[in-house]
Amino acid sequence: MALTVVESVVDVPDGVEVSLEGKRVKVSGPRGVVEKDFAHAGVELALDGGRVRVWAQNPKKRERALVKTIASHIGNMIKGVTRGFRYKLKIVYVHFPINVQIVGDRVIIQNFLGERRPREARIVGDTKVYVQGEDVIVEGVDIEAVAQTAANIQQATRIRRKDLRKFLDGIYVYEKGEMG
């Protein structure tokens, strides 16, 4: 029986340090540190000089798909510690002006559709959130934490029990990208 190997390689640029402890990957760079555990995946990880190898021997369909997925995760970790990620959200309202404040690890949304009780969204991880006029900007090194924080803010202003075609108020993601 022939041995089949599916592998993907991620190059590590200068100024970025990658370390492996079992299947726990730690990437550190000029913007910070990101750590992820891939113990759940049936793939192997190894450091070969300035590259990270992800491979599976005699993989089933799931392991074959996970090889490229985990390589992409590691690539995003490297991109995060070198350039960082930024999501921009727009505050949209028609009648009642929405007031957004950042308090600790929460985003407080007041006066949404004239409601007296403020709505809250959780900030995930080391993500930084700030308000600039009509924009809410979410930045960080971990793309999953940045995206989840942006999603939490957008979901906090979800309209319930009203016609969504008429009530368009909310906070919506309008731009995703790297900080540069």
Flag whether pLDDT at 159 surpasses 70. Answer: yes
Model-level pTM? 0.92
Cα distance between residue 127 and residue 149, in whole Å? 8
H or E, element range at 144: helix 143-156
Give the model's pLDDT for residue 135. Answer: 97
Domain residue ranges of the chain, discontinuous segments joined by +: 5-82, 85-178
Confidence category of residue 1, pLDDT binned at 50, 70, 90:
low
The SS3 call for residue 119 is strand
* Domain 5-82 architecture: Alpha-Beta Complex (3.90)
Cα distance between residue 18 and residue 29, in whole Å? 9
Fold match between domain 5-82 and domain 85-178: yes
**How many of the other CB atoms lie within 10 Å of CB of 63?**
17
> Mean pLDDT across the chain, nearest whole number?
94
Give the model's pLDDT for residue 42. Answer: 87
Question: What average pLDDT does the segment 127-155 reach?
Answer: 97
Give the model's pLDDT for residue 149. Answer: 98
The SS3 call for residue 64 is helix
> Which of 141, 29, 125, 32 is closest to 85 using CA atoms?
141
Question: What average pLDDT does the segment 33-45 reach?
Answer: 93
CATH for 85-178 is 3.90.930.12
